[in-house]
Structure 1
Amino acid sequence: MQTKPIEMNKVLAEFKKRTMDSLNTKLAIEWAGSELKQNLGLKMAAGEELDLTFDYLGTGSFYQNIAWGYYQPIEKYFNNDIYPGLMKAFTVRTCARNMATTSQNVNRTMKVLDWIFTSQENNDLFTWGLEGEHWTKVEDKGYSRTDEQEKNTTFHGIKFQCMLCMNARM
Protein backbone atom coordinates (compact mmCIF):
# COMPACT_ATOMS: atom_id res chain seq x y z
CA MET A 1 0.00 0.00 0.00
CA GLN A 2 1.27 3.45 -0.88
CA THR A 3 1.30 5.78 2.10
CA LYS A 4 1.59 9.53 2.32
CA PRO A 5 5.27 10.51 2.27
CA ILE A 6 6.47 12.38 5.35
CA GLU A 7 7.86 15.13 3.12
CA MET A 8 4.49 15.72 1.43
CA ASN A 9 3.68 18.49 3.93
CA LYS A 10 6.75 20.40 2.70
CA VAL A 11 5.63 19.95 -0.90
CA LEU A 12 2.12 21.18 -0.06
CA ALA A 13 3.57 24.19 1.80
CA GLU A 14 5.67 25.04 -1.27
CA PHE A 15 2.58 24.67 -3.48
CA LYS A 16 0.69 27.08 -1.21
CA LYS A 17 3.57 29.57 -1.31
CA ARG A 18 3.85 29.43 -5.11
CA THR A 19 0.11 29.78 -5.70
CA MET A 20 -0.96 32.12 -2.90
CA ASP A 21 -1.54 35.04 -5.27
CA SER A 22 -2.99 33.02 -8.14
CA LEU A 23 -4.92 29.96 -6.96
CA ASN A 24 -5.17 30.67 -3.21
CA THR A 25 -5.94 26.99 -2.66
CA LYS A 26 -5.13 24.54 0.11
CA LEU A 27 -4.79 20.91 -0.93
CA ALA A 28 -5.74 18.01 1.28
CA ILE A 29 -4.45 14.74 -0.11
CA GLU A 30 -5.36 11.34 1.24
CA TRP A 31 -3.48 8.27 0.08
CA ALA A 32 -6.03 5.52 -0.31
CA GLY A 33 -3.87 2.59 -1.33
CA SER A 34 -5.48 -0.71 -2.14
CA GLU A 35 -8.57 0.11 -0.11
CA LEU A 36 -9.57 2.95 -2.48
CA LYS A 37 -12.56 1.03 -3.77
CA GLN A 38 -14.03 0.45 -0.32
CA ASN A 39 -13.13 3.89 1.09
CA LEU A 40 -14.39 5.73 -1.96
CA GLY A 41 -17.68 3.85 -1.79
CA LEU A 42 -18.10 4.66 1.90
CA LYS A 43 -17.24 8.34 1.42
CA MET A 44 -19.58 8.72 -1.55
CA ALA A 45 -22.43 6.85 0.16
CA ALA A 46 -22.06 9.15 3.17
CA GLY A 47 -22.16 12.19 0.89
CA GLU A 48 -18.65 13.25 1.87
CA GLU A 49 -17.34 15.88 -0.50
CA LEU A 50 -14.36 14.78 -2.56
CA ASP A 51 -12.96 16.85 -5.37
CA LEU A 52 -10.79 14.37 -7.19
CA THR A 53 -9.72 10.78 -7.00
CA PHE A 54 -6.89 9.31 -9.02
CA ASP A 55 -8.19 5.93 -9.93
CA TYR A 56 -6.83 4.08 -12.90
CA LEU A 57 -7.69 1.16 -15.09
CA GLY A 58 -5.21 -1.18 -13.41
CA THR A 59 -7.14 -1.27 -10.13
CA GLY A 60 -10.16 -2.96 -11.67
CA SER A 61 -12.40 -0.40 -9.97
CA PHE A 62 -12.30 2.44 -12.52
CA TYR A 63 -15.24 1.32 -14.67
CA GLN A 64 -17.13 0.00 -11.67
CA ASN A 65 -16.84 3.40 -9.98
CA ILE A 66 -18.20 5.03 -13.14
CA ALA A 67 -21.11 2.59 -13.20
CA TRP A 68 -21.87 3.30 -9.55
CA GLY A 69 -22.04 7.01 -10.32
CA TYR A 70 -19.00 8.03 -8.26
CA TYR A 71 -17.45 10.11 -11.06
CA GLN A 72 -18.87 12.97 -13.06
CA PRO A 73 -18.01 13.75 -16.68
CA ILE A 74 -15.24 16.33 -17.00
CA GLU A 75 -14.37 15.95 -20.67
CA LYS A 76 -15.06 19.64 -21.34
CA TYR A 77 -11.99 20.62 -19.30
CA PHE A 78 -9.69 18.71 -21.62
CA ASN A 79 -10.95 20.03 -24.93
CA ASN A 80 -10.20 23.75 -24.69
CA ASP A 81 -7.35 26.22 -24.36
CA ILE A 82 -8.31 27.34 -20.84
CA TYR A 83 -6.42 24.40 -19.29
CA PRO A 84 -3.37 23.82 -21.54
CA GLY A 85 -1.59 21.75 -18.90
CA LEU A 86 -4.43 19.25 -18.80
CA MET A 87 -4.51 18.91 -22.57
CA LYS A 88 -0.77 18.20 -22.53
CA ALA A 89 -0.74 15.74 -19.62
CA PHE A 90 -3.87 13.65 -19.99
CA THR A 91 -5.99 12.20 -22.71
CA VAL A 92 -9.73 12.50 -22.24
CA ARG A 93 -9.90 8.72 -21.87
CA THR A 94 -7.42 8.51 -18.99
CA CYS A 95 -8.85 11.20 -16.76
CA ALA A 96 -12.32 11.93 -18.05
CA ARG A 97 -14.17 10.52 -15.06
CA ASN A 98 -11.97 10.96 -12.01
CA MET A 99 -13.90 13.95 -10.63
CA ALA A 100 -16.06 12.78 -7.75
CA THR A 101 -19.75 13.50 -8.15
CA THR A 102 -19.82 15.13 -4.70
CA SER A 103 -17.31 17.83 -5.71
CA GLN A 104 -18.45 21.41 -5.36
CA ASN A 105 -15.04 22.66 -6.52
CA VAL A 106 -14.67 21.33 -10.05
CA ASN A 107 -13.25 24.53 -11.55
CA ARG A 108 -10.81 25.06 -8.68
CA THR A 109 -9.64 21.45 -8.89
CA MET A 110 -9.12 21.69 -12.64
CA LYS A 111 -7.10 24.89 -12.12
CA VAL A 112 -4.87 23.09 -9.61
CA LEU A 113 -4.26 20.18 -11.99
CA ASP A 114 -3.65 22.58 -14.85
CA TRP A 115 -1.12 24.48 -12.70
CA ILE A 116 0.73 21.24 -11.93
CA PHE A 117 1.01 20.23 -15.58
CA THR A 118 1.52 23.64 -17.20
CA SER A 119 5.19 23.96 -16.30
CA GLN A 120 8.01 21.51 -15.74
CA GLU A 121 8.92 23.26 -12.48
CA ASN A 122 5.40 22.76 -11.07
CA ASN A 123 5.28 19.17 -12.28
CA ASP A 124 8.70 18.50 -10.72
CA LEU A 125 7.42 19.71 -7.34
CA PHE A 126 4.74 17.03 -7.24
CA THR A 127 6.76 14.35 -9.04
CA TRP A 128 10.15 14.74 -7.34
CA GLY A 129 9.60 17.06 -4.36
CA LEU A 130 11.73 20.07 -3.46
CA GLU A 131 14.74 20.65 -5.68
CA GLY A 132 17.96 20.54 -3.67
CA GLU A 133 16.31 18.74 -0.76
CA HIS A 134 14.67 15.72 -2.39
CA TRP A 135 16.44 15.73 -5.74
CA THR A 136 19.14 17.41 -7.82
CA LYS A 137 18.80 18.62 -11.40
CA VAL A 138 21.24 17.07 -13.85
CA GLU A 139 21.76 19.07 -17.03
CA ASP A 140 18.59 20.22 -18.79
CA LYS A 141 16.15 17.37 -18.23
CA GLY A 142 17.82 14.96 -15.88
CA TYR A 143 16.95 14.22 -12.29
CA SER A 144 19.04 12.48 -9.69
CA ARG A 145 19.18 11.85 -5.99
CA THR A 146 22.43 11.97 -4.10
CA ASP A 147 23.05 9.07 -1.72
CA GLU A 148 22.13 11.42 1.15
CA GLN A 149 18.89 12.52 -0.55
CA GLU A 150 17.97 8.91 -1.31
CA LYS A 151 18.65 7.91 2.28
CA ASN A 152 16.63 10.78 3.79
CA THR A 153 13.74 10.96 1.32
CA THR A 154 10.55 9.00 1.42
CA PHE A 155 9.03 11.38 -1.11
CA HIS A 156 8.90 9.67 -4.45
CA GLY A 157 6.23 11.90 -5.88
CA ILE A 158 2.60 11.69 -6.57
CA LYS A 159 2.43 9.20 -9.35
CA PHE A 160 -0.70 10.20 -11.16
CA GLN A 161 -1.54 6.54 -11.51
CA CYS A 162 -1.62 6.04 -7.77
CA MET A 163 -4.81 5.87 -5.80
CA LEU A 164 -5.54 8.99 -3.80
CA CYS A 165 -8.28 11.45 -3.04
CA MET A 166 -7.75 15.21 -3.19
CA ASN A 167 -9.72 18.19 -1.97
CA ALA A 168 -8.97 21.72 -3.17
CA ARG A 169 -10.26 24.46 -0.85
CA MET A 170 -9.75 28.18 -0.36
Structure 2
Amino acid sequence: GRSDAPARSAARSSTLAQLDVELDARTAAPTLRTVSRRQGRALLRAGRAIWPDAPFGDLPATPGGAHQPLVLGLLCAAAGLSRLDTATVAAYGTVTGAASAGVRLLGLDPYQVQALLVGLADACDGTAADAARAADDPPERLPSAAAPLADIHAEIHATWEVRLFAS
Protein backbone atom coordinates (compact mmCIF):
# COMPACT_ATOMS: atom_id res chain seq x y z
CA GLY A 1 0.00 0.00 0.00
CA ARG A 2 2.82 2.44 0.75
CA SER A 3 4.16 2.04 -2.80
CA ASP A 4 0.97 1.65 -4.82
CA ALA A 5 -1.23 4.22 -3.05
CA PRO A 6 0.97 7.19 -4.01
CA ALA A 7 1.12 5.96 -7.60
CA ARG A 8 -2.66 5.66 -7.71
CA SER A 9 -3.01 9.14 -6.35
CA ALA A 10 -0.30 10.55 -8.64
CA ALA A 11 -1.95 8.93 -11.68
CA ARG A 12 -4.41 11.78 -11.54
CA SER A 13 -1.82 14.33 -12.58
CA SER A 14 1.59 12.87 -13.49
CA THR A 15 2.99 11.50 -16.69
CA LEU A 16 1.39 8.08 -16.80
CA ALA A 17 4.14 6.54 -18.93
CA GLN A 18 6.77 7.55 -16.35
CA LEU A 19 4.61 6.20 -13.51
CA ASP A 20 4.28 2.92 -15.42
CA VAL A 21 8.07 2.65 -15.67
CA GLU A 22 8.45 3.48 -11.98
CA LEU A 23 5.89 0.83 -10.99
CA ASP A 24 7.80 -1.74 -13.02
CA ALA A 25 11.00 -0.76 -11.21
CA ARG A 26 9.30 -1.02 -7.81
CA THR A 27 7.76 -4.44 -8.50
CA ALA A 28 10.66 -6.86 -8.25
CA ALA A 29 8.80 -10.08 -9.04
CA PRO A 30 7.98 -10.52 -12.73
CA THR A 31 4.86 -12.45 -11.76
CA LEU A 32 3.57 -9.53 -9.70
CA ARG A 33 4.23 -7.12 -12.58
CA THR A 34 2.16 -9.37 -14.84
CA VAL A 35 -0.60 -9.60 -12.23
CA SER A 36 -0.69 -5.82 -11.82
CA ARG A 37 -1.11 -5.37 -15.57
CA ARG A 38 -3.73 -8.11 -15.77
CA GLN A 39 -5.71 -6.49 -12.95
CA GLY A 40 -5.28 -3.13 -14.67
CA ARG A 41 -6.82 -4.52 -17.88
CA ALA A 42 -9.78 -5.95 -15.96
CA LEU A 43 -10.35 -2.72 -14.06
CA LEU A 44 -10.03 -0.70 -17.26
CA ARG A 45 -12.73 -2.81 -18.88
CA ALA A 46 -15.09 -2.03 -16.00
CA GLY A 47 -14.07 1.63 -16.00
CA ARG A 48 -14.76 2.06 -19.70
CA ALA A 49 -18.25 0.67 -19.20
CA ILE A 50 -18.99 3.05 -16.32
CA TRP A 51 -17.12 6.18 -17.49
CA PRO A 52 -16.78 5.91 -21.28
CA ASP A 53 -15.63 9.54 -21.57
CA ALA A 54 -12.74 9.23 -19.07
CA PRO A 55 -9.27 9.89 -20.50
CA PHE A 56 -8.22 6.24 -20.71
CA GLY A 57 -6.34 7.01 -23.91
CA ASP A 58 -3.76 8.71 -21.70
CA LEU A 59 -2.68 5.32 -20.34
CA PRO A 60 0.64 4.09 -21.72
CA ALA A 61 0.42 1.55 -24.52
CA THR A 62 2.59 -1.07 -22.85
CA PRO A 63 2.60 -4.81 -23.52
CA GLY A 64 0.12 -6.39 -21.15
CA GLY A 65 -1.68 -3.13 -20.42
CA ALA A 66 -1.26 -0.46 -17.78
CA HIS A 67 -0.54 -1.27 -14.14
CA GLN A 68 -3.61 -1.47 -11.91
CA PRO A 69 -2.62 1.56 -9.79
CA LEU A 70 -2.61 3.79 -12.88
CA VAL A 71 -6.03 2.61 -13.99
CA LEU A 72 -7.45 3.01 -10.49
CA GLY A 73 -6.08 6.55 -10.31
CA LEU A 74 -7.83 7.48 -13.56
CA LEU A 75 -11.06 5.82 -12.45
CA CYS A 76 -11.03 7.69 -9.17
CA ALA A 77 -10.46 10.96 -11.06
CA ALA A 78 -13.36 10.09 -13.38
CA ALA A 79 -15.51 9.51 -10.29
CA GLY A 80 -14.58 12.96 -8.99
CA LEU A 81 -12.54 11.72 -6.04
CA SER A 82 -9.79 13.86 -4.52
CA ARG A 83 -6.18 12.70 -4.22
CA LEU A 84 -6.78 11.82 -0.59
CA ASP A 85 -9.94 9.88 -1.47
CA THR A 86 -8.02 8.04 -4.18
CA ALA A 87 -5.21 7.16 -1.79
CA THR A 88 -7.78 6.02 0.79
CA VAL A 89 -9.42 3.72 -1.76
CA ALA A 90 -5.97 2.30 -2.56
CA ALA A 91 -4.95 1.79 1.07
CA TYR A 92 -8.19 0.10 2.06
CA GLY A 93 -8.15 -2.00 -1.12
CA THR A 94 -4.73 -3.35 -0.15
CA VAL A 95 -5.85 -4.62 3.24
CA THR A 96 -9.35 -5.75 2.31
CA GLY A 97 -8.02 -7.87 -0.57
CA ALA A 98 -5.73 -9.77 1.77
CA ALA A 99 -8.48 -10.05 4.37
CA SER A 100 -10.90 -11.50 1.84
CA ALA A 101 -8.31 -14.03 0.75
CA GLY A 102 -7.78 -15.07 4.38
CA VAL A 103 -11.48 -15.70 4.83
CA ARG A 104 -11.80 -17.65 1.58
CA LEU A 105 -8.56 -19.64 1.66
CA LEU A 106 -7.91 -20.12 5.35
CA GLY A 107 -11.47 -20.22 6.62
CA LEU A 108 -10.85 -17.36 9.04
CA ASP A 109 -13.86 -16.06 10.95
CA PRO A 110 -15.18 -13.20 8.81
CA TYR A 111 -16.29 -11.21 11.85
CA GLN A 112 -12.87 -11.42 13.45
CA VAL A 113 -11.30 -10.38 10.15
CA GLN A 114 -13.65 -7.39 9.95
CA ALA A 115 -12.73 -6.46 13.51
CA LEU A 116 -9.06 -6.60 12.50
CA LEU A 117 -9.80 -4.30 9.54
CA VAL A 118 -11.51 -1.82 11.85
CA GLY A 119 -8.36 -1.87 13.97
CA LEU A 120 -6.31 -1.00 10.86
CA ALA A 121 -8.42 2.06 9.98
CA ASP A 122 -6.03 4.58 11.52
CA ALA A 123 -3.04 2.97 9.78
CA CYS A 124 -4.90 3.00 6.44
CA ASP A 125 -5.87 6.63 6.90
CA GLY A 126 -2.26 7.53 7.75
CA THR A 127 -0.97 5.64 4.71
CA ALA A 128 -3.53 7.45 2.55
CA ALA A 129 -2.52 10.86 3.89
CA ASP A 130 1.17 10.09 3.26
CA ALA A 131 0.34 8.84 -0.23
CA ALA A 132 -1.67 11.94 -1.12
CA ARG A 133 1.27 14.12 -0.08
CA ALA A 134 3.76 11.96 -2.02
CA ALA A 135 1.65 12.22 -5.17
CA ASP A 136 3.11 15.69 -5.80
CA ASP A 137 6.66 14.30 -5.92
CA PRO A 138 8.27 13.42 -9.24
CA PRO A 139 7.46 9.80 -10.20
CA GLU A 140 11.04 8.65 -9.57
CA ARG A 141 10.73 9.81 -5.95
CA LEU A 142 7.58 7.88 -5.11
CA PRO A 143 7.95 5.53 -2.13
CA SER A 144 9.35 2.10 -2.82
CA ALA A 145 8.56 -0.34 -0.03
CA ALA A 146 9.81 -3.88 -0.49
CA ALA A 147 8.33 -7.22 0.53
CA PRO A 148 10.92 -9.81 -0.56
CA LEU A 149 9.06 -12.79 0.90
CA ALA A 150 5.88 -11.81 -0.96
CA ASP A 151 7.93 -11.56 -4.17
CA ILE A 152 9.47 -14.99 -3.59
CA HIS A 153 6.12 -16.57 -2.76
CA ALA A 154 4.50 -15.02 -5.84
CA GLU A 155 7.17 -16.55 -8.08
CA ILE A 156 6.78 -19.96 -6.40
CA HIS A 157 2.99 -19.77 -6.60
CA ALA A 158 3.23 -19.10 -10.34
CA THR A 159 4.86 -22.54 -10.80
CA TRP A 160 2.02 -24.46 -9.13
CA GLU A 161 -0.14 -26.57 -11.39
CA VAL A 162 -3.24 -25.52 -9.45
CA ARG A 163 -3.16 -21.92 -8.28
CA LEU A 164 -5.11 -20.27 -5.49
CA PHE A 165 -6.04 -17.20 -7.59
CA ALA A 166 -6.31 -16.67 -11.32
CA SER A 167 -4.60 -13.27 -11.27
TM beyond 0.5: no
As a proportion of its length, which structure holds more helix? 2
Q: What is the TM-score with the length of structure 1 in the denominator?
A: 0.27
